[in-house]
Amino acid sequence: MLLENKTAVIYGAGGAIGTAVAKAFASEGARLYLAGRRRATVEAAAEVAGGDVDVAELDAADEASVERHVADVVAKAGRIDVLFNALGMLDVQGTPLLDMRFEDYAQPVTVAVRTQFTTARTVARHMATRGGGVIMTVTAEPTIAPDLGGFPAACAAVEALWRGFAVELGPSGVRTVVIRTPGSPDSPAVQDVYRLHTGRPEVTVAAIQAEWGGTTAMGRLPLLAEIADAAVLFASDRASAMTATLANVTCGAHIDM
């Protein structure tokens, strides 16, 4: 198993991506510490994952709460090998920039930078002292489209933050990986965005795949399980030489070559 004897912390674990990653990590042998704003959804993710799972309720923007949680994990497990952030940004979409309040534009940038910085810094401090680990997060394919508000700016800010961590933490053996995805059609959040931008109350995975996935090289969008499988690979020692990495899990919505 790729993550056997690894201790993994997942923040934002109650969402669709966090749940999928928790399930994949557990299936590969990781010991899981799941946390999120609503205990009920985190507990639901723990049930899906199965295996050795610890659950906590916390606000990732609260520095003191994150520090207590990390200290608790280290006290119980002795180490943290993997951090995976599946944190929401509270982005406001559906309004043209010319009609948008600055506060609404800036909200996802502020939320994303604060929560991602607070969690990654706190966990990475522990990893650096013991000489290794990997911090991971998720951003979206930088789409040029109307009415996205501050969402693209927030993704760009997170990617810049991860590059900074990479160069500072590399000598300590800590790797950084950003999984870039255009969104998974089987995610309720993506389905909500589809409804918002198309104005259609009825939505199916097939409809999103046909309309949005049809523009990618593979003619589809990645499913949640595929995002989670990529996370397993990059969290594992099989990717031990990979850092400062944007993992392109977009089905060809983004072309690296």
Query: Exposure pattern of 81-102 as b/e (b: 16+ CB <10 Å)?
Result: bbbbbbbbbebbbeeeeeebee
**Sheet of 7-11, strands arranged across:** 53-57, 31-36, 7-11, 82-85, 133-140, 174-181, 245-248
Crossing angle between the packed helical segments 102-130 and 151-169, to the nearest 10 degrees: 20
Q: Residue 257 has what pLDDT?
A: 81
- Please state the φ and ψ torsions of residue 132, each to the nearest 5 degrees: 170, 165
Residues 34 and 49: beta-carbon distance below 8 Å = yes
Q: What is the mean pLDDT of residues 177-191?
A: 93
Residue 193 scores a pLDDT above 90: no
Percent composition of the chain: helix, strand, coil (DSSP 3-state, to 5) = 50, 15, 35
CB 141 within 8 A of CB 254: yes
Residue 78: pLDDT over 90: yes
Query: What is each CA distance from 46 to 30, 43, 81, in whole angstroms?
Result: 13, 5, 19
Mean pLDDT computed over 149-169: 96
Reply yes or no on whether the pLDDT at 143 is more than 80: no
Contact call for residues 200 and 157 (beta carbons, < 8 A): no
Here the tokens at position 147 are 């009415």
pLDDT in tens, 20-62: 999 999 999 999 999 999 999 999 999 999 987 999 999 999 9
pLDDT at 141 > cutoff 80: no
Distance separating alpha carbons of residues 79 and 102, to the nearest angstrom: 41
Burial of 190 (C-beta count, 10 Å sphere; 0-12/13-18/19+): buried
Q: Strands 245-248, 174-181: parallel, antiparallel or unpaired by DSSP?
A: parallel
Q: How many residues does the chain have?
A: 257
**Stretch 99-111: mean pLDDT, rounded?**
97
